[in-house]
A and B are shown apart, each in its own frame.
Chain A
């Protein structure tokens, strides 16, 4: 489904991703872990096309999408829940969903995401900029779902949320996984990532330094303390 082949991504002169490769199969949830500033968000930006890699290839559904504009990648079936939520603040909740909705007869319609997040239905007419952080996160997830993605890129969906909301986001991710959606999940919350992922990769200084099943990582204290700062 997704294949990242030896990509090198730069911000100006700074060489952030230094040869990252990974593969995902359909229906898999893959977790990307690592400390801040190690290139996790850059990996997401490279895949969606915000910051295309200078070398290497991103292949999605057997197509080389490395240099595609993001909207074309989204049309092919990538969905993005970006870091920092990035809802459109001057648009209402409903408009945020309407501009993203593909209406291609896919599973997720505006009505269905409002069933998934009843709070969004209640606030349909509010400006997204006025929502609380948790509501904005729900909206960011809902907005990605109405594009009916086959692969959802989620960049720290629990960042800055209260514990109760972290659990709700966790439940949503588990439900999406149960429905067969493929998810590439960048997450700082280690227990959540270990619970939902089928496979985890750790990024450090722009390279993948560890790949394993969640159970193997859980058992490997050396890797955890070295790259994730947990004992």
Chain B
């Protein structure tokens, strides 16, 4: 019993981290039809920038915020200089974003070297609650709380504000959105920046949990894509449910059948796609 509860908790907290990463990817995917291979790099760079802020004497909160903001600027730059000219050209987008991912990977290696680091977390977030034999690290609870907060804020913005309605109108019919006066360029840029910010936030938060190390970008990117594909492109609810599913599957897969962990992750995805090609909550 203890095994199941603690694995369930681990799965949920990993799912929460995945949601931070994949929520933005799903919005970018659904709204702009951009397959953003750079998304994993934002995650990696967010972690490294946060680490640098802490090395320079900044505190944890400042580090996480600066990491997120710095990468938002990187995302805006990438979108403005390259991606906005490539709308509708999937091959060009994949190659461009893949190119950036490789450049960022090498730049990170050049700047921060090949050693793995862990972002030191403040005392209030370290330690653990113990219930009987069970052990719940405070930091993992913190990640779940951050993800829940982000989910609620994103949902409120998307469903309850005019700018959120403009974003959904852009998903429904981008041409007609322009035809009623919506500045689709500005909306797209904002969504892209938001996605990059959330990925960097995930990377910075993950730095105190799984660490920051070379290769983390391409290690986590497939998970984010699985979440988006299973949940359905552009659906916040889909990203949330998909993240929890992938987090749990990955955790239980690794705990129960460690030699089959990729199988336990991808087999359910294939099964879902066979039944629902647009994902659980996706529209065609």
Contacts and interface: CB of A to CB of B under 8 A. Distances in A.
A147 interface: yes
B176 A90 contact: no
Contacts of A2: none
B172 interface: yes
A100 interface: yes
A89 interface: yes
A204 interface: no
Contacts of B172: 88-91
Interface stretch (B1-9, B117-125, B130-138, B161-169): B161-169
Interface residues of B, number: 20
B171 interface: yes
A56 B168 CA distance: 35
A74 B182 CA distance: 9
Contacts of A50: 175, 178-179
B178 A99 contact: no
Interface in A84-127: 86, 88-91, 95-96, 98-100, 102
B162 A99 contact: yes
B173 interface: yes
Contacts of A95: 165, 168-169
Interface residues of A, number: 24
Contacts, number: 65
Contacts of A86: 173, 176, 179
B80 interface: no
B85 to A, nearest CB: 14
A91 B177 CA distance: 12
B180 A99 contact: yes
A53 interface: no
A99 B171 contact: no
B162 to A, nearest CB: 5
Contact of B176 (A49, A75, A82, A147): A82
B57 interface: no
A90 B30 CA distance: 14
A9 to B, nearest CB: 15
B165 A75 contact: no
B165 A99 contact: yes
Contact of A99 (B175, B182, B185, B283): B182
Given A50-B175, A71-B181, 14 more contacts: A50-B179, A69-B178, A69-B185, A80-B180, A82-B179, A88-B173, A88-B176, A90-B171, A90-B172, A90-B283, A91-B165, A91-B169, A95-B169, A99-B177
Interface of B: 162, 165-166, 168-169, 171-173, 175-185, 283
14 contacts: A50-B178, A70-B179, A71-B181, A82-B179, A88-B168, A88-B169, A88-B172, A88-B176, A88-B177, A90-B168, A91-B165, A91-B169, A98-B162, A99-B177
